[in-house]
Amino acid sequence: MKIVVTGTRGIPNILGGVETHCEELFPRIAAKGYDITILRRTKYAKDNLQEYKSVKLIDVSTPKKKSFETIIHTLKAVWVAKFRLHANILHIQCIGPALLTPFARILGLKVVITIHSHNYDHDKWGKFGKFMLKLGERIGCRYANEVIVISDVIKNNITKLYQRKDTHLIYNGVPAPDFIKDTNYLDELGLKSQKYFFTMGRFVPEKNFHHLVNAFSSLNNRGEYKLVIAGDSDFDDAYSRELKKNARKNGVILTGFIRGKKLHELLTHANAFVLPSAHEGLPIALLEAMSYGLPAIISDIPANLAIGLSQDTYFPMGDEKKLKEKMEKMIDEKPVRKEYSLDKYQWDHIAEQTINVYEQIKKS
């Protein structure tokens, strides 16, 4: 069975929750003997890899303009999947690329879509962008052979909005933590163990990192505590420039996009993890922080509430005063590592669930 994946910027080591999802999931499926090809976007692929952990990689060029990048890449991807790779299944990540689901079906491809979030709720999109994303979600849900959703919240919304009751609930996962006792990277950044708040993600408005920077800058008991934000923006826009400017002005440490040992070291030694997002699907960043036992301060949006952490973990989304109070309390109290139940977020199980979806299509 040949499976082609599109809708992601690519793997490995490419910023984004969907990209992390694909990097963890598809090598596990390939290890089971399935022929997996991921079609990457050339502008994000900084290497010359043609294969990663048994997953084949093909780079497909895209326009530099954000509004056309996804749709043109997906159009090319459908063509490559059908006529170059002769795929059996096209697995589309996200609702924007799902606009091309009918085109893929007309060409004879079986289509699976994974809905990671309702992207049209994100502030970065204008009216036309929001309309097209919602249209993509509607078309994908109508014409895809199978639909995967990553959270109970999304599953309930899809059932309500489109009466699609046969969606497959397959959660995001989290890899086993890699605790790093060394503090070499911390020393390089001027950090002390358990003396900093940590977060990570793309620099886009819906992550609300601007609220986090403002709350941190107003702390009354900051002392030697720092705030560290790992990540960057895909596009150099007004929001990302202003965020970086304000962060540096207030002594926030920006690491840029990091993976591997540096990231694991920051997760190992952080005092707490903060996620102030306005919108999420099922946040992999939070699950990863939980795997390290980090206390968390997170916004009370439905996706975060669905994870079911203790009530004192949450603060009203967008409320900088409440966020500040939570951070000050965390500084005053001695940091205590948490034990979270992460059984349903295991990637090996998630890979088996996804394979079952493929096998279901094969029989249809």
pLDDT digits (tens, 9 = 90+) for 74-93: 999 999 999 999 999 999 99
The answer to whether residue 318 scores a pLDDT higher than 70 is yes
Does residue 244 form part of some domain? Answer: yes
Same domain? For 103 and 208 the reply is no
Same domain? For 202 and 329 the reply is yes
The answer to whether residue 241 scores a pLDDT higher than 80 is yes
- Once rounded to an integer, what is the mean pLDDT over residues 263-275? 97
Does residue 257 form part of some domain? Answer: yes
What is the reported pLDDT for 130? 83
- Categorize the per-residue pLDDT at 62 as very low, low, confident or very high, splitting at 50, 70 and 90: confident
Contact 244, 168 (CB under 8 A): no
CA distance 84 to 31: 23
- Categorize the per-residue pLDDT at 21 as very low, low, confident or very high, splitting at 50, 70 and 90: very high
Does residue 129 form part of some domain? Answer: yes
The answer to whether residue 71 scores a pLDDT higher than 80 is yes
Give the pLDDT confidence of 190-202 residue by residue, as tens digits: 999 999 999 999 9
Give the pLDDT confidence of 22-45 residue by residue, as tens digits: 999 999 999 999 999 999 999 888
- Once rounded to an integer, what is the mean pLDDT over residues 323-341? 91
CA distances from 185 to 161, 188, 232, 267, 269 (A): 47, 5, 18, 12, 11
- Categorize the per-residue pLDDT at 16 as very low, low, confident or very high, splitting at 50, 70 and 90: confident
The answer to whether residue 120 scores a pLDDT higher than 70 is no
What is the reported pLDDT for 364? 76
Same domain? For 18 and 165 the reply is yes
Same domain? For 164 and 201 the reply is no
**Tokens found for residue 348:** 């090996």
CA distance 110 to 205: 35
- Categorize the per-residue pLDDT at 119 as very low, low, confident or very high, splitting at 50, 70 and 90: confident
Q: CB-based contacts of 43: which residues, under 8 Å, 6+ apart? A: 61, 62, 64
Task: Residue 221: give the domain boundaries.
Answer: 184-342
- Once rounded to an integer, what is the mean pLDDT over residues 312-328? 96
The answer to whether residue 125 scores a pLDDT higher than 80 is no
The domain that holds 156 is classified in CATH as 3.40.50.2000
Does residue 179 form part of some domain? Answer: no
- Categorize the per-residue pLDDT at 67 as very low, low, confident or very high, splitting at 50, 70 and 90: low
Q: CB-based contacts of 10: which residues, under 8 Å, 6+ apart? A: 19, 22, 38, 39, 40, 41, 44, 45, 57, 59
Same domain? For 68 and 141 the reply is yes
Question: Which one-letter amino acid corresponds to residue 74?
Answer: T
What is the reported pLDDT for 235? 76
What is the reported pLDDT for 46? 84
What is the reported pLDDT for 123? 66
Whole-structure pTM value: 0.88
Give the pLDDT confidence of 151-183 residue by residue, as tens digits: 999 999 999 999 999 999 999 999 899 999 999
What share of the chain has pLDDT > 90, as a percent? 83
CA distance 203 to 235: 9
Same domain? For 169 and 274 the reply is no
The answer to whether residue 273 scores a pLDDT higher than 70 is yes
Q: CB-based contacts of 350: which residues, under 8 Å, 6+ apart? A: 25, 28, 170, 171, 172, 173
Same domain? For 243 and 326 the reply is yes
CA distance 233 to 242: 12
144, 150, 153, 154 alpha-carbon torsion, rounded to 10°:
-20
Same domain? For 359 and 284 the reply is no
Residue 82: alpha-carbon gap to chain centroid: 28
What is the reported pLDDT for 313? 95
Q: What is the mean pLDDT of the chain?
A: 93
24, 28, 30, 32 alpha-carbon torsion, rounded to 10°:
-170
Q: CB-based contacts of 153: which residues, under 8 Å, 6+ apart? A: 302, 303, 306
Question: Looking up tokens 């699609």, which residue turns up?
Answer: 164
Contact 89, 4 (CB under 8 A): yes
Question: Looking up tokens 């005053």, which residue turns up?
Answer: 332
Does residue 204 form part of some domain? Answer: yes
Does residue 314 form part of some domain? Answer: yes
CA distance 18 to 187: 31
| Total domain count, the chain | 2
CA distances from 95 to 75, 88, 113 (A): 14, 21, 8
What is the reported pLDDT for 129? 80
The answer to whether residue 6 scores a pLDDT higher than 70 is yes
- Once rounded to an integer, what is the mean pLDDT over residues 343-350? 95
What is the reported pLDDT for 132? 86
The answer to whether residue 237 scores a pLDDT higher than 90 is no
Same domain? For 151 and 189 the reply is no
Same domain? For 10 and 157 the reply is yes
Same domain? For 154 and 39 the reply is yes
Does residue 103 form part of some domain? Answer: yes
Give the pLDDT confidence of 205-220 residue by residue, as tens digits: 999 999 999 999 999 9
Does residue 31 form part of some domain? Answer: yes
Same domain? For 246 and 109 the reply is no
How does strand 55-60 pair with strand 51-52?
Answer: antiparallel
Contact 194, 335 (CB under 8 A): yes
